[in-house]
Structure formats: structure tokens, C-alpha cells
Structure 1
Amino acid sequence: MAQRVMPPRAGTKADVVLGQIPPESVGLEIVHKLAAKGFCVVAPNFALDTLVTALDEVKGFDKLQRWSKVNGIIQDGLLGAEGSCKIAELESPDLDDEVRSDGEMLMKVDYTITHLGFRMEPYLDLLGFDVTHRSLAVVHQTGEPDEDEESVALDEKTVMKWLACFLRHKVMVIVFLGPTSGTLELQPYSTEDTELHEVLTAPGMIVILRPDLMSHKHFSPGMSVALSSFFLTGGLSKRATEGWTMIPPARELDEWTMGRLKVLKEQSQEDAVWSPDIPRDWQHAMNHIYHKGQMVAVRGTAIKSSMCDDMDTFWQVSTNGPDYVVDIPLLRWDHDEMYDPDLESWRYYKTYCKHASFMEGIELFDCKMFNMSPNEARSMDPHQRFILEIGYMSLHNMGLRKNTLVNSACGVYVGCGNVEWSMLPKEDSGAFGATGGALSINSGRFSFTLGLKGPSMTLDTESSSGATATYLAAESIMKKGRAAANDLAVAIGSNIVLSAVNWPTLCATNSLSPEGRCMTFNVSASGYVRGDGTAAAALKCLTEWIDGDFVTHDDDQLLGAIAGTTMNNNGKSASLTAPSGPAEQEAISDAIRNASISIFDIDSVEAFGSGAFLADAIEVSSLLRAHRTEDMKEPLALTAVKSSVGNQVETSGITGFLKTIFSAQWNVMTPNLHLMQANPHMETADQSPFTTECLEYKMRSTFAGTMSRGNGGSNVYLLSWGQINPEKVPAPPPTSTRELLTFWPGGGGQLESDKCPNREYTIVGSWGQWPEPIPMEPEGDGIYGFTVTLGENRWEWFVIWLDSDPRRVLHPGYGYASKDFPVLGPAEDAEGACWMINGRPESVYVPCNQTDIIGEGVEVFEDEYGQKVASHRVDTADMGYPGDQYRVHLRIAGKWRTVTWEKVKRDEEASPPVLLRGKYYVAGDWSQWELTEMQADPDIPGVFFQDVKVPAARNEFQIVRNKDWSQIIYPDVKRCAGDGSFRVLGPDDLGVNHTWLICCQPGTPLRIEFQRTVSADTDVMKVSWRNVSSNMPGSAAAQLVGRATDKQAGQQATELLEPADAKTLRG
């Protein structure tokens, strides 16, 4: 029994009718309509029984209590207050049939949506995006909203679900099940001067639209049911594309979310248990957006390290995993006197390590910059010089100058304990020697030189000195009670390897590495190598209390912030120098508590990571326990800058801290070096937290920790916050340069007078002699039409002129554009831009997993990215043969214009006559490439000839169709001498330099013949020439060349006619 098909309602016109166009072209046609007007009406030809059964299955939702109501904001993002009066979400298609409650017909309709998505997916890049998955289908039931009924309240889980959907949806498919008809109102969001457009809906109709571009509300006079689903992008970009805006429902939900997060942050208390009713992601977002308590802003930074003079360079080079460690150069000292590879060489005052990282130019110093004499500068410890230079550079990068720093309340905190300068032989420095090497002068000289009146101190907590300086600098500017705080502070850490005098002692404690590298986290870790470095950070409060409110100085440079910091000591532990896991965990917990965030908010930690085998294992275990719980699956990334630059001792803590600040600006974590096999003593809970390559952070902002410890038991934990710097990581440009909508059928606005014709629109195309404009026929409602008959090329191109004026051209802006492209102009010259009706099959390139959609017999190859793709020639909706007709329409609605066409139906049994409607011309060098029309052979259809008398021994020519130089007929090689193995190509504009070559005696009369045989499936072209005179020497050879059908005959002929160097001139 034949199935009954739901008849379309009168007045409803579908853009795509399934079954009337090749299945392979359905997706392309839908995407073309989405690109042009933002929606596409599809007639799927559902069987009537399918719709009736699906509606019966929906009626059962009442008994199962499947219906629910949602907030009005969510309704606006679906089908409006009336169209989505009640909704029900279908079950996942992955459910087993035994537990599924949805009916069979509803699942069949749901599968239709998925199938349409597969059809569209290969072509969605034309819209500038790609989709990765679809949402669960939602059933909508229309109804009148009850004004007296209280609106459904929003909650966190509901907002999170629909906000994610409204931010990522790109395509919406709506299937109208009936039983009554209705109206779908569409209105673009961001395009000005657009009127409301109504689509009359009927049972069995499908509307596919761009929900990110237009509102969509459904109305029905009676009860009507619709099924919809969104196709979504894979994830939100952390750097939004230029011009990207939220749709109104998403913007309202986002505003509600921000307000709710602020309330939650204000209500949050230390150690409070997070409510299970609120998603954990909300806590994560809350702590990244809103901050509680005082935060310290990093306003300026500076660094001098191995081969790097600024932090941007240092961080960017770090992304490539540089190894700065080298053999000790003679510029520092002759290490041969100290080196002995024996691991016990320390017993006779030798060292088994001969590597370190060094910075250049430690002897250079601008003493005049700091109002010092050359004699005093020569007596200074290089640490003092770099503390002055790098410390002032950080303040300078903050925007301060020497004259503005005088008498300012700026604290100076210097981490430096290196006294190697005093152990080196040097010239007598006189009175300056007393201050040239004293540690206390390191900070005092900085304050004295710049006139700073804040606290000034030099700190020595061994390898945590730089972190200690940063901790104290941050604490000094926080407002606490009535005590005066610094206006700003600068934290500096400095270490320069000047001598190996204490290396035997370090070898005795197994601190230095025999391998000469810092193998942090690796199974072969055996210690560290020393490294040069001086780094500084200029700090200031992020907010100030002004007139009873906190004020943020947005005009000041913000590189990052210190969200929390803590310093403690191991106390009584295993030994004086042994690390203490509990003490480290306590410092981490206190810092996180001070920052009023959760341990789950921290994405990465810059570990101390000195390369000591057991110390690394203790630290990794402590970091993972302090930052994650057993049920927490989110990974914690661990990085270690020492694996690249070595142990900079007093500078290492501040170097690692600055690296986390700049990693947040670039939104990328840098890799660790020398990690080939993980230390087996590290308890990583079956996860690999170590970065061996660059990894992106998951959000725009990030919290990152920096762990530092000293041999005396000092532990410092710095918790930084930072976000993407748009100047360093700009928003990506739009993936598509096309307008979001090129035509809006609802109209709007008014077309400028200079874009309108005075009399008529005329069309000019490849079917006639150029130029021959033909008037288009007015059809009413701003529509102008013209019928194009497909010629023997199986394609026709055209443009539109206003009032037959070639200087007022309407064109699409692209060469050989398809329908629905935007209409540009009028312009004086289209510069090759035109529309093309292409009746030939098209090549489609798709991923191999889509070959089942495209068809069998595809050609598979790898693209430039190594991905397997398939090439297949498929039929299109415009597929046609010579003699088929197409109706071209220019549609005008207000200021909107578009050009489209559809194939005119013909009797399927009758084959269209294949006629050669074009004219052909010869263009040769003997006529300065002027076109000369060829005559049609009256006896043989499809044969054209032209008699010429060539003036030279070598003559070139081409054949042109309809006086159109974009329709050149040419051989597939240059200067073809008539060998029958060469193919005839065209008509197109690709063979400008490909010509036929006639070789004969000057003055020989020749007949050039062109034959074209066209059928429904073939198009065969032949070009030949022959001598039409029998009384001239060499005529037989000339005739042989022109009619050659195999390589041997062609070679014999050219040897008779061409000069000795013919082989270098042919082809």
C-alpha cells in the first residue's frame, strides 16, 4: 500500500525539495541559502503516517509528565513564549531500546535532523565555521502564555546548560509536525533596516536557520508541535573573533550569571562547603571573575638572564625549550684548575661539575645614569650594578622616572646572598671598597641612588631569597589597620656566578649535577647547575579605597597580580636542609585561603624543581596533595624553569614567578626540559602533570602558583593571577569575509538612487556575442527574470547592466560566483567578476569519515596537514546538459539585492536538442591576434573552418568562442605542432600562453578546422589544419602535420618543416 504524503499548504514554497535534486547536492544548496538569507525552507516529503504517529507519541508526554516550562529568556532563545509554551527534551539516540521511552516515529524524525547535519557538514566552512555535535532534540508545544502565572525562576544548572547552547549554536533545524499550520517570524539581530519576515509553516515542513543571526518565534492559531535541535561549535574561543556579539537571550543569561556570581562571591566564607546544587564550574568562574580581599598588581618587570634582556623575549624563547647551560667560559675563570670528573674530587678541593648558564656583559655599567664616578663603579660588586639597572628598569617599565621617584614611599626588597665578589682578586679600590661588596649595600644603594624613602633591606634565605623579597614587597603595600603602607614596592633577586670557590662544598653535599644539567622530575636527576640571573617586579595595590569604595586604576599597566602569598619555615624537621612536605602543603593552603579561592581554581604550579632525586619526589607529592583531592580529575600542570636556566639560587623564585605572569598573558604553559622518564618515587596518582610541550590554559584567565624553598627551611608560595593580553594574543580575524546576510526577503531600507536604473535591467552573458545586452523581464514585487539556455559548454556566465550601460555593472565581486552571492555595484568595471550557471558536476573534498555521505568510488589522498580526504565528482542542483534552461532572477527588497536561478522543468523523456549555438573565431599572430570568425561547414554539423595564408614559417594561433577571451580553446601544451597525443582544452581563460604552432613555408594557404561534438555526456573537440593548395613544395608535409594522429607521423612532419633547433622551440 502506497504511503500517503502530506501535501504542502498553498502559498508555501520550499527552497530545497528532497527528491527533486541529487542527494549529494542537498547540503550545498542548504548552505548556500543559509549564507544568503540566513534560513532555508526544506520540503522533506514525510509520509502522512509518520507525522500522525509522531503526534500520537507526543500526546503520551502528558501521562509521562515529560512537559516542562522554562523561563521567558530561554523561550526567546527557542521558539518564543508561544512557540515554546511547553517543552520536552528527547532522550539520547545512544540509549538502548530496552530503556527508551520515546516513540519510534519521533526517533525517526530526530534521525532526519542528524542526517541533514551530515549533508551540510562538508560545506559549513563556506559560512566561516564548523560544527562538532548537535544538541538533544526538544519538542515544542504552542500555547497562549498565562500572564497571571508566575515566571519560572532561573537556577544555576539551567542557566549553565542553555547559556552554553546559546553561545555555541550555529545552525538550528526545526521540524513542524502539526497538526495545525502556523507562522515563523524571523528578524535579524544586528543588521539595520530589516523588516520582519514571516515563513508560513505547515505540517511536514522543515526550516533550517542561523540562530546566532536572527530571532525565531513560532505562532499558531491552534495547538501545534515542533521538533528542533541545535548544531554547535566545538568550544568557545578564549579570544573572540572580531565583531562577535552575544544574541539577546545569551546576553540576558550572561548578565544574570555575572550578577549571581557576584552574590555568591560576597556570600562565600572561608572553609565553607560548596553547595552541591551549584555546579563546580560556577565556583571556578566566580573566583576567576571576582576577587575578595586585597590583590597586588604587578605593574612592571625586568630581567637579565642568559641571552635575554627582557621578560617577553625570555618567555617566548622558553616556549621552544631552550637549554642555556654551557661549559664555563674563560671570560669568567679557567675552570680546568678546578675540574675533576671524579665524584670524590671534592675531597681534594676539586669539582666534578663544569657547566652553568651565564649572561653576557656583566662588566658593563652606565655609572652616569646613577650619578656615580667610574672609580666607585669599578669597586662595586656586579650584583650591585645589576640590582640598580634591573630594579630601575622595572620601575621605568611601570611608567616611573628618576625625577618622579624622589622621596616616594617605595619599598626596596632585595634577595641576594652571594659573596663571591669579596673572594676574587681585584685592584685596590680605596675607600669605595667598604661599600663595594657589602650585602647590606645592595638594597641601600638602590634607595639612596633613586631617593626612595620606603623600607629597604637585603634578604638571604638561600634559594628562596627572590621569592621572599616578593612576599615582603607584596605585604608592605597592603593596607592593614592604621599602619602606613608603602605606595609601591620593588622586589629584586640577583645571582651571578663569579667563582667556583664554594663548588667543592656543593659537590660534597651532592647538590651539583655530574651530568651538567638540571634533570628536574627525571629518573636520572642528580642535582643542579648554577645559573646567572637578575630579575625584578614593581608592585602596587590593584585597588585603592577612595570615598568609601574600592577603585581600580584601569589606565595603569597591569601585567598580572598576586592573589595570595605565604611564607613559613619547616621548624624542627629531619635535617636543617631537608625539604618538609607538610610545611610546604601548609604554605600552599594558607596562600589559597588568603586569596579566597578554591584549590580547583589553580591550573599550574611553577615548582622549585632543583633536580634533586628525593627532594623532587617530595615536592611533587606535596604539590599534588595540596592542590587536588582524590576525586578531583582535573590535571594540575607542573613546570620548572630550572631545567632550562639552571638554579639561579637567589633569583630563581622571582624568575619562576615572572614566568607564570607572562604565561598567563600568552595563555600558554611552557615545556620542561630533560624529562624522558619520570622519577619513580613521585606519587602522581596515575596522571602525568608534567608539561613536555606548550599547553594552553583552559580559560582566558588563570591562577598559577610558584613554590620556592631555601636550605634554612624557608618556604614561600606565591599565587599569581593573570589573563590574556589582547595586544600579544590578538583576536583571530573572521574566518569568512562574506557578509553575514546578503539578502533579506523581508526587505528594509531603501536602495540608493544611483544604484537603480532609469529604464531597465539588462543581462549580458556568454551565450551571445560580446557585448549584447538583453532586457530582463519584470515579474513584480521587485523581481526581474531572464531565461538562459545552457550552451555546449554546459556553463554560462553573466553580469547585469543598468540601462544597457557597460559602465554600470552589477556583479558578485568574485569570478564565476554561484547564486545567492551578494550583488555589488554598479561599477565601471567588474574586473572579471561574474555569476556562473554551472551544469557540470563539481569536485567535493571531504574527510574520509564522510565518504558514506558523498558516495562510493572516491579518490582518497592526504592534504597538507596529513589528514585523509576524499575527492569525488558529484551532481549538483544546477546539473544540466546543453539545451536545458534556467530562470535567472534579480530580486530587490528594499536595500537588499540578490541574484539566483532555478532550473526550468522539462519532460524527462524528451532529450534536449544539442546545438552549437556559439560562434568561433581564430586569433593568430599573423593578424596581430585580431578575431576572425570561422565559417560553419554546411555539410558536417559541428565543424567550423577558416582559410588563411600564413606569412611566416612559424605561426601561432588560438580559437575563441563568442569573441570572449575567457572562452579560449587551446592545447594542453605550449606551441603544439599538431601531434594527435595532445588534448584540446577549454573553453576557459587558463590557456593564455598555450597555442597551436603551424610550421610551413611562408605564404602557404591553409584551412584551419575546428570540430566539436557534444552529446548529453561527452564533449569532444578537435583542431587541425591542412594545405589547400597542391602546387607548393612541402604541402604534403604541411598536411601531414595538421592531421597527425600519432606521435611518429607528427615527428616526421616537423622534421621536414622545422629548422634544426625545432626541438628546443616546440612544446
Structure 2
Amino acid sequence: MSYVPKHSPKTCGRTAGSLVDISGLPGKATPVPSAAVLGVQAVDLNGDSAQLLHFDKGLQKWIAATFSGRTIAIDGQHVKPVTSEAVANYDARLGGQLDFVLGPKSDYDLSGQEITAALATKGYALVKLIVAEEDAAAMLDVAKRLDDDQQFSRLAIEFERGYLGDDGNAKTLHIGLDAPDTPDYIKQSPLKTMDNNFGQMCSMLSKYSEEHLGFEVYSRTEMLLRMPLADHEEDKFPPADIDDGDAEGFMHLMYRRKLTVLQFVGPSDGALKLLPLKEGDEELELRAEPHTMLLMLNSRWEYSYTPSGESLALQTFMLTEPAIYCLEDEIQGNIEHLTGQSTGPPAPPGEQVTIEAMYCRYGMQADGRFQFWQGAAKASTDGLTEIPVSRWDHGPYFDPESSFGGSYTRHGCFGIEGVDLFDCKFFEISPMEAKGMDPCQRQVMEVSYMALLEGGYDKRSLQREAQHIGHFVGIDKDDWMCMSAAGMLDLGGAHGAAAAANAITSNRFSYSMNLKGASMTIDTACSSSLVCTHVSKLHLRFKDFEPMPASVVNGLNLMLYPGPFVGCCAAGMLSHEGRCFTFNSTADGYARGELCGALTFKLKQFNPQTGSICCLAGSQSNQDGRSASLTAPNGPAQEKCIKAVLRECKLTPTEVDCIECHGTGTALGDPIEVGSFKKVMSATPRKEPLVITSSKSNIAHAEGGAGLAGFFKCCLQVSNCEGAANVHLKVRNPHLDMEGFPCQILSESLALREDAAYAGVSSFGFGGTNAHAEAWGKNIMNSRGCMVSDPIKLFERKLAKAPPAEITMNGDDVRDWETTGLDPAGEIGDRYMIELDEDGVATWEKVDEELVDWGDDFFIQGTFNNWDAEAMERSDSLLGLWVAEIVLGSTGVEHFQIMADNDDEKVYCPERPNCASKVAQVQGPKTAPKEKSWVIRGAPGDKFKIEFFQQEKKRSILWMKI
């Protein structure tokens, strides 16, 4: 076995990274082979110092980097540990302040500790860098090339002090070494290595900065190249122009800047002065020798740097985390201003009638307004089918050739499945009575209740306390009554009189729900339900004696037996093809449809946040009087009705976006209707065409329920700001006179022009009673609208797009500048009031914390005590600490909030709902929903101790299992 010594004679016990003095060389030092290729000459290095890089076994020599930047190969016997005299030699030249030597093999962890210690003690550190001569020369060549390419420029005068120091004056260039547009000759130069060194220095210091310097290094700026301006270059490099955005960015950068790092490349040295900011410190003078680096705390020093000649310096700032704000959930003012979009025509003036609830059973299997909108606007569905055998066998009545007086059509829109079904128990109606009830009454009961419930009234509360709510039903025929008269039904018994009476259709619902307002069934033929809407509005507006808080309007039609089909065909009123070909050249009559829909109206101002869907902007009703015949439409009367509504709404025709036509698909009715609204809507010039739609092409003509169905669709169109397509429109009816009238009969859905819209509907009874109503609404249904989004998110989006804050630059010291934006000196917990004006300009104003009422006593509320506030106990040992205990219930989950002074406007809560984090930011005091609560999970019966700490804006929450 042979013995291996711990150190060979050649390595002499040295290790890579050691600092050594060089002595005893018999001649000039030999450059390493790679350096010799580059033309590096051998020099006498006796008395110099170096860092050992590695031992070359082939040469049997150490490869070392000298303090002067040469890489040499040297025998181990000519090096010895560095002496204080060698460091002092550099110390003297630099002003006696050298703190550290940093080379390729330095221990970064040790270096970070030492440099941080120097910064903590003196506020600055001066570091000697070991940089190869060839690297220094290459950096200067790149800088000269950039200068020749006119890449350098001068900073704004207001920025020079912050970037370049006191009385700083230089041409500069920011370089992103990782940016894709940075030329390769820069990325492949030693500047890339120097940039990496800045990054490494950032990592080295970040481990210790928070503990020793009081801040965390979050990031750094791009590397800045700076070179002095020659006397003849003043005119060549004029100061840059800046705007408020530049000034705001610079201001925040200067407040985030914690450390300035300057690396002096040379070739010239310079004078460096450190100017104290701390009272009692003295000004220091140092030498800015090539290949030294200054790290300076900006809270302790400013500096002045004057190079003695041509010189390149590299610079970066080490920054703290940028200021981050968290919006509370209190947004006040006009939310419409948050969108940055045009808001469209304004809401109807004065006291408004709003639609608070909508429910329908319409064709296309639509059960509710959302299904109806999908079918009509998105899928363009045709809901008509052959007459189902569950109603009657149409075979014996089908007479396509009109040979025996039957029905020449066998199609209709049977929109309600299970029309015979009814939840009589819910409405407290006996099965015996329900058995004989008119299916119209059953549908009204169920559909009107759904609308009433969405409007905020439920059966149980109405049973306890009656409401003066009105109920209005529009219906123009009752098959059940005709079937009874024909002997098809047995309506004898105690309940027979009410089973098929039209008055009871509306009255029964008012009775069942304990509604004391006006209750009536209205029959004006096809305009019945739209006339109901108008009458309902009049009752809501008449408040002299006993005002109505709300009204429910229902419009329906049911097809229960073949009689009306046979009768309408005898009059030639129905389409032979079994469809409503509204506005199409093949229009030959209407198709029958059944449906039931209801709306809840209230007299209140439109507010989607409180449930409003849209507004009934205006409505009117009139009569044809003595026209061509009893049943012939009368254009002038229809015009008069539409004009009256426009006057009521204080609208010009141009502001109306959409017309939902009566549009039955008859050869006579459609042209007269289009002619009447053409005259009215052409009174003022239009830039965009009027959109024309008709739901009858989707769900057929529901006769007495058709008017409300059209208004129902208008409500959906304005709340989506979208026009729905007509179906079966291929060739326009040649009798429609639209010449010179900017209108568009839709064959596909179309987004309306703005973020709010008016849509009107007309309905005409064949006996001459006309009605027209206008709906107004904002887009609250899709992502294009300003009202659909969370106001907090809208505010954040608008704030992000706000123009830069207004900066008042009082001199060149950024600490004297003023801003209307976020205070760059703000601290965690500071609160601001942010005002966004109509133009999107944001103004930040710090809230005076002395005016905030934090509370004197604290209470806890949550699911464990049914949200009844219970007093917390004040800690005797720690000021500001309040304690409570809770026991988990059977679910093992409890939610809680903290309340100050038993005041529900002074609640402390987490920033997000159902928060299980103990370190989440505590918000408040403010009004907060119960969803914004902390949640504790465990086993049922577990007991937890809750500690709430509050001293002004310092707040924390903690809970632990006992």
C-alpha cells in the first residue's frame, strides 16, 4: 500500500478561489494558451495579486487571474496567501475603502454576507472585480460601435440626477441582454457576462438584505451603459422630452430603488463622491478605478461621479417589490362610466316602470326566458309541428282542398307540453275542483306565480301579509268554454260556474296569492295582452289612494280542440303551409300558436344590481274607429298610437333601434303595418337602419297572448342589445313599401349599435283595438355589456386603462415631486380613495387613518350563532387582542366574521369568500356580505380559540384548536 500525501508539492495546499500574492518569478509571467492566441503578452507580475482559478495538470501550473485582469499560468511555489499590504495597495488608490475582491472563483455565499455587512455598516461597499484585459477591451469596442451607430442618447434633464447622480451628465443606453431585438454582437460580448454578474449580485444580496438591510431585493433594472459627453457633443445629444407617463414611471422607480450598483469599466478612472443623506455622516471621496464596483444604499447616500476622460460605466438599480393595491368591494357612482363604451340612448325620463321578472312557456320547448332567447336569437328555431294526437286526432278534420268545410292546415305551435297537468296542492285547490278547471286558469296560476316569485314575492309571505299587487290577463278566446257549450265537457257541480269563466282566469290567481290589487281579464282580440300591459302601467302610476307596489301581466292562448281551426280556415285566415311567412313573398295567412308568459312590473328606477331587467318606457292603446271595415287594419290609427308612445318616452324615431312587428304573415296586414311605422320612423334622419323582427315566425301567432309575447321578446332584445332573426324569410313581400326607408328585416341575429337600446312592439286586434309599447334596457346579459360584469372588475379594468397621473416636478429631486396617482412612498395598509371621472382620469387621495373608526369593542358572528353578534373578550396581557371560542356544529364547518361596536357597517372580513387562510389580508371596517367570511373545518364538537388583533391599520386573525 502506498501513501498519498494530502497536498502535492505542485499545488502547495492552495485551492481554487484563493487570493494569493505573486513573488519570486524569475522573469515575465506566461499567458495561458488561449490568451496567447489573442495576443496577450507576457509581463512581469512580481508584487501583483491574483485569484487561483484551477490547477492545470498538463502544465503542472496554476491558472490564475490577476487583480490587473491578466490570466496567467504560474508555478505554485511563486504564490502565497494574499497579504493585507496587497489589498492596502489598492485601498490607497481607491480612497482606502475597498471592501471585497470578487473574481470568477469567489464564494458567492460568503461574498453576499460580506458585502451586505458592509452595506449595513457604512451604507456602501466598494468591490474590486477581476476582469480580463481582453474582456474590458471588447466591452469598450462594443460601446464605441453602439456610439458610432447613434444608439446612445441623453436622458431628460429631470431624470439625470436620479440615474446619473448629482450634477450627472452623460450619454446613456439601456440594454436588455435577453431581449429578442438585441443584436448578437452585444449578446456575444462580455457585456452579457457583466449583465449576468449584476443578476448574480442581486441573488447574492437577496439572501441577506431583508434581515440586515430591512428590505427584500425583488428585481433589478436593465443594464445601463453610460459614457461622458465630450465638449463638442452637447448639441448632438439634446435632452429627451417626457410626458406624464414617463414621469410617473420614473417617480415610482426612484422610490423602489434601494441599491445603486455602478461598475467602472474604464479605460479612464474618475472621482467619486458620496453625499450623505443621514444627518451626522460626512462626505466621502473615492476613486472610480477601472474594474471596481460601487454598491450604495440610496437611503444613505447620493453620489457624484466625474470621469477623468473617456470612460464606460455599467449601472443597474436593485428594486423592492412594486406597490400593489387591493380594491375593496365598495364602488360608488355611475357604473356606466367604467366601460369606456358608448352608453346608447338614455333611460326613459322621470319615474320608471321596470320589468323585474320574466317567465314563459313558449314554443320551441322554451321553459323560461333564457331558453326562449336561445331558441329565437341563437338557434333561429321554428317551433311549429303537426297537431299532436295528445290534443286531438286531426285526421277527420284535415281538408286540404276545402271540399267539406274542414281545416286546410294541420300545423300549429303547441308550446306547452302537459297542458293537462297542474300542481293543485301547491295552490290549495282540491283535486275535484282542479279536475274541471280551465287549463288556461292552470297555466296562468303556474306561470304568473313564477314571475311573481322572481319579482320578490312568495306564497308564504303573501299569506301572512297581503300585498296590493295587480294581476292582468290578456286572452281572446277560451276553448274550454266552447267545449263545455258544445257538450264535450261536463262542468256541472259546485265548481262548474268558475271552471270556465274568463274573469276567473285572472281572479283565481289573485285569490290564491292573497293579492289585493286590481285583477282583470282583458279581451281585445290579438292585442289583448299588450293592452293589459298598458292598463297595468296606468294602475302602477295612479298612486292617489292605494298605490300598487307591483303588477303581474299574463298573456296566453291555448289550443284545446279543432273548432277554431275550422272556423279560421272558413274565413281564409290561416296559412295553407302551416307557417307564419312574415314579410316573405309567400305570406298567405297566419299559423296558430299557444303559449303562456308573464312579467312582473314595479314602479322604481332601473338598477340591474337590484334585479331590474329593463324598462317599460312607454305604452298606448287606441281604436281604428270607422275604417274600411270592422276587421280591416287602419294605418293612420296605428301611426297615431306609435307617435303617442314616442311622445310619452320623449324619444325621436332615430333613437328607436328595433321594431318587433305584429307580423302575422297576412298579405294585407304586413304591408299596412310596415307602412304605418315607416311614416313614423322616417320623420327624423337615421345613420343606422331600423332593425325589424317578428317572433311569430318562430312561435306562430298566439292571438290573445301575442302582444305580450312580442313585448317579452323586446325586453330580451334590449337587455342583450341584440336583434333576433326572423325565419322563413327568403324573398321579401313585394307589397312592402320600404323604398327610401333605412331598415333591415333580419334573417340572422344582429348586435345593436350601442350599449343600450329601445325596442318597440305593436299589436292589433282584428276588431280595431291597437296597442304599442316601447322597452328600454342596457346590455346586462352578455360580455359586450357594461352592466354584466362585476363592478370591481370593471373598475379595475378602467383603472388599468387610466391615463398617467399628473406629476408636478418640483425641481430635480424626485422626493419633492407631487402626484395625483398612487403615492410611490405608500406603505402596506395605507388606504386610498380613487376617483375615476367620465374621461377615465384617476385621482388617488390617501385616506386619513385618523378619521377611520376602527371600533372600540369587538364581536364575533357566524353560522355557529345564526349570525347574532357575541361579545369577544379583551386580552389583559396584549393591547389590541380580542379572544372568543366557538364549537363546531354537526357539519364540522363554521363561518365567522368580526364586527366592531356591534355595527354591521364595521365588519372585518377576509378579502375573498369562504377563506380558510389565516394569513389572508384582513379587510374592514366596512359593510360586507356573509359570504366574505373565514371558515374553520374540523370534527363536530371541536372547540377553537379565535384571536383577533387590531391596532389601527394593523390587523390579524388566528384560530387554534383547544
TM-score grouping bracket, smaller chain normalisation? 0.3 to 0.5
TM-score, normalised with respect to structure 2: 0.48
TM-score (structure 1 length as normaliser): 0.43
Larger Rg: 2
